[in-house]
Amino acid sequence: MAAVDGLQFQEFDDAENLLGANRDATTISIGDPNEKPTNQRRSLGNSPREEDDDLLGNADSDKTELLAGQRKSAAFWTFEYYQKFFDVDTYQVLDRIKGSVLPLPGKNFVRLYIRSNPDLYGPFWICATLVFAIAISGNISNFLVHLGQPQYHYMPEFRKVTIAATAIYSYAWLVPLALWGFLMWRNSKVMNIVSYSFLEIVCVYGYSLFIYIPAAILWIIPIEWVRWITILVAMCLSGSVLVITFWPAVRDDNRRIAIATISAIIILHALLAVGCKAYFFDVPQIEVPGVSGSIASVPRFC
């Protein structure tokens, strides 16, 4: 402790420096340790220079790597191991959702929101909600499209839920797996500074699917150009979040591979949206003899 000099105001050193001087001293750090670097980044983000952001991200990544390493104590067959991935509060989930639909240039989703605390709650329940949103909206929209036609008999088409579930969960888990494997492989060849763990990639992809939930609800409107505009807007928003997240990871690589990776990410994202729209939502004003004909070859669920 520094000597008290009357009642003069004294600058006390940082907690780390104090501990460095006197190992036995007790220091209190007030506030969330995660908040401080965020504030630093936000103040720097006003004049966005990508190098600064990356430098902060690099330093942060070193620190967060260390912090993350200290937490992996439970074995993977225990319950506590999985409880680590649900260590989020309501406001954190809402913040992450907000961050996934509002891409800010220079603000990396993983660095800003995930911050070495990837959760599985968001990806899992957003995918579940999306599955049911698409199935239910598709059902409603088909009903509205075929409303006046006497030969159309309304059917709940429950089979489509399982198809939607398979498609969406495969996208949300297999594509991150492939991307993570690819990035790891490139990491071994080219020394990339920024690297993401598998769960962080799953997190980004899961939260990026959130924009499709209101899009699916808007697809109920049986007007074709409205649907296409909705797809475009949704894709731009969440696609740009993905691009901003993964561009630093491939930027140092061979130019062509970097571009190819980013294009693959965008194309797959677009493919999911367009595929869901084409399969689950009948096109209005064109006499389509029911989508049920096209899934006649699908094996029965039970």
Partner 1 sequence: MAEVDEASKPLFAGLSDVSISEDIPVEGEITVPVGSPSHDDEYSTLDEPVKETILRDLKAVGKKFGHVMYPKKSTTLLRDWDLWGPLLLCVTLALMLQGGSADSKEDGGPQFAEVFVIIWFGSVIITLNSKLLGGTISFFQSLCVLGYCILPLTVAMIVCRLVLLGGTGTASFIVRFIVVVASFGWSTFASTAFLADSQPPNRKALVVYPVFLFYFVISWMIVTFSPSHSDGATDTGP
Task: Give the integer Cα–Cα distance in Å for 232 and 226.
Answer: 10
Stretch that binds partner 1, among 14-22, 82-90, 215-223, 224-232 (CB under 8 A): 82-90
Residue 65: CB minimum distance to partner 1, A: 25
Strand, coil or helix: what is 87? Answer: coil
Size of the site for partner 1 (CB under 8 A): 31
Within the chain, how many helices (H) and strands (E) appear? 12, 0
CB of 292 to partner 1, least distance (A): 5
Q: Choose, by CB under 8 A, the member of 93, 97, 165, 167 that binds partner 1.
A: 93
- 224 contact partners, CB below 8 Å, separation of at least 6: 283, 284, 285
* Interface positions, 33-72, toward partner 1 (CB under 8 A): none
In the complex with partner 1, the residue whose CB is nearer, 127 or 276, is 127
Q: CA angle, corner 234, sides to 228 and 238, nearest 5?
A: 150
Q: How far is the CB of 213 from partner 1 (least distance, A)?
A: 11
Q: Which of 46, 51, 153, 286 binds partner 1 (CB under 8 A)?
A: 153
Nearer to partner 1, 93 or 243 (CB): 93
Give the nearer residue to partner 1 in terms of CB position, either 193 or 295.
295
Please tell me whether residue 76 binds partner 1 under the rule CB under 8 A. Answer: no
For partner 1, which residue of 88, 167, 237, 268 counts as binding (CB under 8 A)?
Answer: 88
Residue 173 interacting with partner 1 (CB under 8 A): no
61 or 141, CB closer to partner 1?
141
- CA-closest candidate to residue 160, choices 286, 285, 278: 278
Phi-psi region of 239 (alpha: psi -120 to 50; beta: other; left: phi over 0): alpha
Q: Residue 148: exposed, middle, or buried by beta-carbon count in 10 A (0-12, 13-18, 19+)?
A: exposed
In whole angstroms, give the CA distance from residue 266 to residue 194. Answer: 20
How many angstroms separate the CA atoms of 296 and 37, rounded?
Answer: 55
Q: Residues 195, 110: contact at Cβ < 8 Å?
A: no
CB atoms within 10 A of CB 4: 8
Burial code (b: 16+ CB inside 10 Å, e: under 16) for 255-282 equals: eeebeebbeebeeebeebbeebbebbbb
The 178-217 site mask, x for binding partner 1 (CB under 8 A), equals ----------------------------------------
Q: Does residue number 90 form part of the binding site for partner 1 (CB under 8 A)?
A: yes
Single out the segment in contact with partner 1 by CB under 8 A; choices: 78-86, 103-111, 183-191, 233-241: 78-86
Select the span of 147-155, 192-200, 247-255, 270-278 touching partner 1 (CB under 8 A). 147-155
Kindly state whether residue 155 participates in binding partner 1, applying the rule CB under 8 A.
yes
Give the residue among 249, 177, 180, 172 at the shortest CA–CA distance from 205: 172
Give the range of 80-88, 105-113, 199-207, 241-249 binding partner 1 by CB under 8 A.
Answer: 80-88
Q: Which residues make up the interface to partner 1 (CB under 8 A)?
A: 79, 82-83, 85-86, 88-91, 93, 121, 125, 128-129, 132, 136, 139, 153-159, 292, 295-296, 298, 300-302
